[in-house]
Structure 1
Amino acid sequence: MTSNLDPDARTSYRLISVAARLVQRRQDDALAHLGLTRAAVIALEGLAGGPLNQEQLAETIRVQSQTLGRVLLRLEGAGYITRTRQSTDRRQFKVELTESGEAILEAARREETNAYPDDPNIGWKVLSEELAKFVNALPASRSQEVLPFAPPEHRTSRRPHGARGTGLRGMDQSGH
């Protein structure tokens, strides 16, 4: 089978991979003094629009509910979220941000923003558009909606029934 792939594609794939690792490392470093990980911030971001149950939150941020549970335990222990058992279904918990959670989320957003390069020669809008095209061009067997640092489409967009989360790699690292 021959490929019609642009010869620069392999180099681009590698650059995307390197860029992702570098951005993740910078974000992890920026969040460390707050005692947070990217995974914890993603969970907090998912709750920014209001309370959800754990299954809804997992779907919103596109992770497995079991993986999310470990992160929520740590966020609850730190006082950033509350989990209240639902009266209509005792197996479900309503998860919501506390005032401390809102404050730490704002601090995390500032730290993440400060971790990005401040280079006026980078066309962020163009880069974002091109990366979105790349993500959307991935084969259907891969999740096409994984944009973990984009604001969650809170309660407005649903994945097809039965679609699974991506299980963000590193979700439970560093204890948060």
Structure 2
Amino acid sequence: MTTPDAMAQWPNGRLLSTAARLVEHAWVDALDSLGLTHAGLIVLHLLGDGARSQTELARQARVQTQTMSRTLDRLEREGLVARIRDERDARRHLVTRTDAGTAAWQQARTLEADVFPPLENADELRAALLQIITASSAERW
């Protein structure tokens, strides 16, 4: 195991990458206990503001439409989302959160406090992460 002293010499990118992997593993385990995936949690979050099309969800989640389709299929099988025909365009379907999906979302919202250690400078870390994400994704999306 690498000691904190040794990690102090790592470049920021390596620290960020390692932290991201560890956080992802913790999230996967915690979400799995609720029958959710990270992608499913993102969808349930996005649907909190109301129904969306699969294309809109994919764009907002920054994934391919096919990837979103697989996530929605799983959520629908679990009864967490429903696809309904768009009243304004019968060719299109909208995705909405079910009551079970809302309940799962509510449970998942408290996971962060349970899974991650409290940080002294959480607001500064959040601001730095948002800056990294914004700068890094500007060219991609």
TM-score (norm 1): 0.68
1:128 to 107, 118, 126: 126
Label 1:52 to 1:140 Cα distance change in 2 as closer, same or farther (>3 A): closer
Aligned-residue Cα RMSD (Å) equals 2.2
Unmatched segments (≥5 aa) in structure 2: 1-7
Deviations along 1:141-161, one digit per CA (max 9) or x if unpaired, are 334xxxxxxxxxxxxxxxxxx
Label 1:19 to 1:76 Cα distance change in 2 as closer, same or farther (>3 A): same
Q: Identity of aligned pairs, percent? A: 38
Deviations along 1:125-172, one digit per CA (max 9) or x if unpaired, are 1111122222333375334xxxxxxxxxxxxxxxxxxxxxxxxxxxxx
For these two proteins, the number of residue pairs brought into alignment is 134
User: What does 1:16-165 correspond to in 2, within 5 Å?
Assistant: 16-119=16-119, 122-138=120-136, 140-143=138-141
What is the DSSP-based 3-state SS (H/G/I as helix, E as strand, rest coil) of the residue aligned with 2:101?
helix
Cα distance in 2 for partners of 1:139, 1:45 equals 20
TM-score (norm 2): 0.84
Deviations along 1:108-141, one digit per CA (max 9) or x if unpaired, are 111233111134xx31011111222223333753
Q: Quick check: 57-66 or 82-91, which moved more? A: 82-91
Cα distance in 2 for partners of 1:138, 1:58 equals 19
Label 1:13 to 1:52 Cα distance change in 2 as closer, same or farther (>3 A): same
More helix per residue: 1 or 2? Answer: 2
- If asked which structure has higher relative contact order (CA below 8 Å, sep 6+), I would say 1
Cα distance in 2 for partners of 1:46, 1:139 equals 19
